[in-house]
Amino acid sequence: MRKGSGAPTLGSVAERAAVSRQTVSNVINNPELVASETAARVRAVITELGYRPNRVARQLRTRQSQVIGLRVEQSNRISILDRFLHAVTDAANFVDNRLMLYTAHDDASEIEAIDELVGRWDVDGFVLTGSHAEDPRRSHLTAGAIPYVAFGRPWGADDDLWVDVDGAAGTRAATEHLIAGGHTLISFLGWPEGPGVGEDRLSGWRDAMHRAGLAEQRIFRCANDLTEGRRAAAAMLDAAGPVPTAVVCVSDALALGVLAELSARGLRPGQDLSVIGFDDTDVAGVIGLTSVAQPLVEAAQRCVKILLSAVHGEQTADRAALLTPRLVVRTTG
């Protein structure tokens, strides 16, 4: 804000950006109604002037707290949860909402936390993570008419309030990249069998192999842990039959386990065995691991948009979104 100019207002933003007051309001509340170039210009002016909508007036008008709940899960160095949390915080702040974070050990304790947050703090709605089949959190929120959106598909449930990343598209791109590089013996290292993310990512590898007319190499499965990934890699390398020249992993954690086993055997990743992970964690960038990157910023923005539409009782066709990831090629694949 310029010195001596007073607190910026919606009108001063409109004047500086050479648009109407309604256009500024739409950029904040209904950005899909504004042309992308115009929206970018208005956002730049909002940032320049430090404009903030009148939060108290809006709360009195809408009877809403403008607070979104999000569970904080315990993460580690090979997780993308921290980046997703940061992206959701930015997306919420841009539309003058705030995040209230909470912890829970399982679905039952999360349901208790949700009820307390709604009852005591008037939280408007929730962003759920860790979606799975027959998720009791969804049914509880639906029964209580509590708005929510899930980062992750419902996996069989009749539910359309979600944003997810197309895991099959990601592993398909990874496998096609390896095939284009001349590989024909490509294994897959995945999680234990069960509906959801793991099988979705497996299906992309399988589809790419079939399209190329290649026989499926062995599928190895283990828990999402670096140590378990290393053990699975040893089993893959020691198995009878042709030794794979490449492996697509369901996560960076398992890919790192493969790299550890290669190092112990004096083998060179990217030369003796090409390795591709999934999630493009910070560790992947540091060590040169080829990985599939999730569009976390876009996912967070879509989550907030869908949730706030539900909070405001708006009828919109944009109630679910499946986003396409991208392959980040580095030295291991």
pLDDT (tens, 9 = 90+) of the chain, 333 residues, equals 444 456 788 888 999 999 998 888 888 767 778 898 998 999 999 888 888 765 444 443 445 678 999 999 876 656 788 899 999 999 999 888 999 999 999 999 999 999 999 988 889 999 999 888 888 999 899 889 999 999 999 887 677 799 999 999 999 999 999 999 999 999 999 999 988 999 999 999 999 999 999 988 899 999 999 999 999 999 999 999 899 999 999 999 999 999 999 999 999 999 999 999 999 999 999 999 999 999 999 999 999 999 999 998 887 777 899 999 999 999 999
Question: pTM for this structure?
Answer: 0.79
Pairing of strands 219-221, 162-165: unpaired
Find where tokens 């500086």 sit: 16
Maximum Cα–Cα distance across the chain: 77
H/E element, 290? strand 290-293
Phi-psi category of residue 152: left, alpha or beta, with phi > 0 → left and psi -120 to 50 → alpha: left
Q: Are 155 and 167 in contact (CB under 8 A)?
A: no
Q: Are 163 and 320 in contact (CB under 8 A)?
A: yes
What φ, ψ does residue 186 adopt, rounded to 5°? -120, 115
How far, in Å, CA of 43 to CA of 27, rounded?
Answer: 8
Domains annotated on the chain, with CATH: 10-51 (1.10.260), 63-165+295-324 (3.40.50.2300), 167-293 (3.40.50.2300)
Pairing of strands 219-221, 186-190: parallel
The first and second tokens of residue 6, run together, are 């007073």
Strand arrangement of the beta sheet that strand 148-151 belongs to:
98-102, 67-71, 125-128, 148-151, 162-165, 320-323
211-220 contacts at long range (C-beta below 8 A, 24 or more positions apart)? 212/176, 212/179, 214/179, 214/184, 214/186, 217/185, 217/186, 217/187, 217/188, 217/242, 217/244, 218/187, 218/244, 219/187, 219/188, 219/190, 220/187, 220/188, 220/189, 220/190
The first and second tokens of residue 174, run together, are 């990874």
